[in-house]
Structure 1
Amino acid sequence: MLGTAAIEVDATSIEVHPTDIRRVPQADKAYDLVEIETDRGTTICRYCEAEQARNGVVMVGGVGGGFDSPARGLYPRLAKDFLNHRISTLGVRYRHPTDLVESTIDTVLGIRYLESQGLSAIGLIGHSFGGAVAIQAAANNPAVRVVVAISTQAAGTEPVADLAGRAAVLLLHGNADPVLPPRYSEDVYRRAHEPRRLIVYDGAGHTLDEVAESLYVEVKAWILKHLPGTLV
Structure 2
Amino acid sequence: MADEGAVDIRLLDVDVAGREGAANVVRLRTSRGSVDTRLHRPASGLGGAGVLWVFGAGGGLGGPAGGLYARLADVLAPQGVTSLRVDYRLPNHLVECTLDVQVGAAYLEALGVTRLVLVGHSFGGAVVINAGANCDAVIGVVALSSQTYGADAVGKLSPRSLLLLHGEADEILSDACSRFLFERAGEPRELRLYPGCRHGLDECRDAVDRDLLAWLRRTLNVSPSR
Which runs of 5 or more residues in structure 1 are unaligned? 1-5
For residue 141 of structure 1, the aligned residue among 114, 135, 138 is: 135
Partner residue of 1:213? 206
Gaps of 5+ in 2: none
RMSD: 1.3
In 2, the alpha carbon distance for the partners of 1:68 and 1:221 equals 20
Q: Which secondary structure does the structure 2 equivalent of 1:164 belong to? A: coil
2:22 — aligned with what? 30
SS of 2:109's partner is: helix
Corresponding position of 1:190? 183
Listed one character per residue, the Cα deviations across residues 56-86 of structure 1 (whole Å, up to 9, x for unaligned) are 1000000121113111221111111001210
2:11 aligned partner, one-letter code: P
**Amino acid in the other structure paired with 1:21:** V
**Rounded Cα–Cα distance in structure 1 between residues aligned with 2:211 and 2:223:** 17
Q: Matches of 1:13 and 1:186 in 2, distance apart? A: 31
Q: Give the TM-score of the pair, scaled to structure 2.
A: 0.94
Q: Does structure 1 residue 77 correspond to structure 2 residue 97?
A: no
Q: State the one-letter code of the partner of 2:35.
A: T
Aligned 8 A contact 2:8 2:99 in 1: no
Alignment of 1:91-110 (within 5 A): 91-110=85-104
2:126 paired residue among 129, 132, 136: 132
1:38 Cα deviation after fit: 1.6
Letter in 2 for 1:230: V
Equivalent in the alignment of 1:174 = 167
Indicate whether 1:204 and 2:197 are aligned: yes
Would you identify which runs of 4 or more consecutive aligned residues in structure 1 move more than 6 Å?
none
- Which residue of 2 is the match for residue 3 of structure 1? none
Q: Using structure 1 for the length normalisation, give the TM-score.
A: 0.92
Q: Which amino acid aligns with 1:116?
A: A
Tell me the secondary structure at the aligned position of residue 2 of structure 2.
strand
Q: Which amino acid letter does the alignment assign opposite residue 45 of structure 1?
A: T
Count of residue correspondences: 222
Structure 2 equivalent of residue 39 of structure 1: 31
Q: Provide the residue aligned with 1:58 in structure 2.
A: 52
Aligned-pair distance for 1:12?
6.0
